Structure formats: C-alpha cells, structure tokens
Amino acid sequence: MSFAELKQEVGHLPPAERRHLTAHLVVLERRSDPGLKQRLADKIDVKTPGQRVVLEDAEKRLRG
C-alpha cells in the first residue's frame, strides 16, 4: 500500500480510530528515537522568569 493510499484510508476512519492511530504512531516514534521525549521536554520548558502561567490564571483567561 502506498503512502497516498494510507492517507486516503486514514481520512475515512472515524475520529476515535484516528486518535488511536495517532497514539500508536507516537509510540512508534518514541521507540525509534529515545531522545525525543527529552528534546520535547526541553522545548516546552520555560526558562525565562515570569513566562510561566499557573493553572488558575490560564483557566481565567480561557473563560474570558
């Protein structure tokens, strides 16, 4: 099966099955790249003081 055929088939999957497929692909990526988890953690780690947002403030912002 070609990649184009895979993409087409995935487009026909129900949302729940697409989420399961996405989770499976993430697991495969993690297995094939042991350093991925740490690189992602480094990317999202806020190092600048004052840049962090506490949960309560984020919830207030979302509520408007």
Output the six-digit token pair for 34: 């042991």
pLDDT in tens, 7-42: 999 999 999 999 999 999 989 988 999 898 898 888
pLDDT at res. 42? 87
Q: What residues contact 29, with CB distance under 8 A and at least 6 apart?
A: 36
Query: 47 pLDDT exceeds 80?
Result: no
Integer Cα distance of 46 and 55 in angstroms: 15
pTM for the model stands at 0.54
Higher pLDDT, 4 or 49: 4
The domain total for the chain is 1
Q: Could you list the residue range(s) of the whole structural domain that residue 30 is in? A: 3-63
What dihedral do alpha carbons 5, 9, 10, 11 form, nearest 10°? Answer: 100
pLDDT at res. 46? 77
